[in-house]
Chains A and B, each alone.
Chain A
């Protein structure tokens, strides 16, 4: 059974800092890994999708890496802003086509 773990559970940083969120998964037989953000009371917004054959993806200030063999992904956020405050979720798409989610990292960026 696929298990996804996200560390840390919560993170508070001052504005302007670079930060890294971690995601690990137990079964490396995945199609892809997707990072989402969730604002309070809202649905999930897709940030980045990394295919199993890829090592990283970039979108603006966000960079996600994937090491499938070790079951790890990181989301790097450069020059953080208060508007980045949200819960960040990673999810892996397994060979059974199910998306398995971690419990998320609650990020607070302080002005």
Chain B
């Protein structure tokens, strides 16, 4: 594809429900990142995948958050038992290597009501 694709673009869910957010990186990009941007806040690192290496999960805020990347391509970020403080824009980025640009998707705006 032409760029990083994220779906859905908007998601409204009830408190306590589980949600899945999807990221399709640029073809051939081995590195994939998830970030969270809360209203008026900076970008908060969540998780980083690089090829077949174990992901860096150090940014996940709680054990309700998990992510996987299947076949080194598509990634899914899952939030279980959503809380209102999970409301934010979730952004995905991909790159080929440390000396190349990171490209971001348009984000998924999650609203927990």
Contacts and interface: CB of A to CB of B under 8 A. Distances in A.
A43 B107 contact: yes
Given A43-B91, A98-B45, A51 B56 contact: no
Q: Which of A43, A45, A89, A102 has the most CB of B within 10 A?
A: A43
Range class of the A interface residue count: 20 to 34
Q: Which of B31, B42, B56, B91 has the most CB of A within 10 A?
A: B42
Given A43-B107, A89-B43, A104-B42, A98 B102 contact: no
A81 interface: no
A99 interface: yes
A103 interface: yes
Interface in A1-41: 31-32, 34, 36, 41
Interface in A65-98: 89, 91, 93, 96-98
A110 interface: no
B100 A49 contact: yes
Interface residues of B, number: 26
A100 B45 contact: yes
A41 B39 CA distance: 11
B48 A98 contact: yes
B21 interface: no
22 contacts: A41-B109, A43-B6, A43-B105, A43-B107, A44-B91, A44-B104, A49-B100, A93-B102, A97-B31, A97-B50, A97-B56, A97-B98, A98-B45, A98-B59, A99-B33, A99-B93, A99-B102, A100-B45, A101-B42, A101-B43, A103-B41, A103-B42
Interface of B: 4, 6, 31, 33, 35, 41-43, 45, 48, 50, 56, 59, 91, 93, 98-107, 109
